[in-house]
Amino acid sequence: MPCGPRLLQQTVTGMESLRGQDSKQNGSAQFVGFEIDGQKYLFRIERIQEILTPGSVTRIPDVPAYVVGVSNLRGTIIPIIDLRLLFGLAPRTADANTRTIVVNVGDRTVGCMVDAVSQVIRIPLNQVQRTPDTVGADSHRSIEGFARAGENLFILLDADSLIDPASLAAAHRAGVPSVSSPDMVP
């Protein structure tokens, strides 16, 4: 039986219709909220292709630990990135809430594993505060801003710089132990 990821109800079409309303209501934007280690984050909804329950992932070698592997998304092979590991947090076993957010970055498609997807929310743009320059240092390049909705404080992430394949490749070249490193030889 195919063990590929099952689609959640929040499909692209569903989001498309939401986005349709978006243009009519100027001054606000839609986001997908998700959670990692108790912190709430947002991705802009235009970036999101779909949200999946994690399916089978094939491990791949010579990549940073946060690249969990590759998955089959209806015939296309996409990398799966564990945002927990990308953020330097401890790994956590997947549970019923774990989701893979499929994000479009440029012409590439990448899956991001998160602890849970909470909601699709609309936030007035004036509630979104740009990242202060003091925070906008190198490591926080992918933080686009902060937003408050009700009593929740969200961190708005910039998918492009967060999972830029080029920078992943650079990280790959810089940080991954090569074959010839002594600890790899039995």
Task: Dig out the tokens for 2 from the structure.
Answer: 């195919």
Question: What minimum distance in Å lies between the beta carbon of 105 and another protein?
Answer: 9
- At 77 the three-state DSSP class reads strand
**Minimal distance, residue 52 CB to another protein, in Å:** 13
Q: Residue 100: name the closest of 88, 116, 89, 84 by CA.
A: 116
Q: Which is nearer to another protein, 57 or 123 (CB)?
A: 57
Q: How far is the CB of 78 from another protein (least distance, A)?
A: 5
The Cα–Cα gap between 71 and 77 comes to 6
In one letter, which amino acid is 185?
V
Q: Which is nearer to another protein, 29 or 110 (CB)?
A: 110
Query: Closer CB to another protein, residue 57 or residue 147?
Result: 57
Strands 76-82 and 108-114, sheet pairing? parallel
Tell me the β-bridge partners of 42: 33, 156
**Minimum CB–partner distance for residue 145 and another protein (Å):** 27
Nearer to another protein, 71 or 118 (CB): 71
Least CB distance to another protein at residue 127 (A):
33
The size of the chain, in residues, is 186
112 or 123: CB nearest another protein: 112
Enumerate binding residues for another protein (CB under 8 A). Answer: 1-4, 55-56, 58-65, 69-72, 75-79, 108-110, 165, 168-169, 172, 176-181, 184-186
Nearest alpha carbon to residue 99 among 79, 117, 80, 85: 117
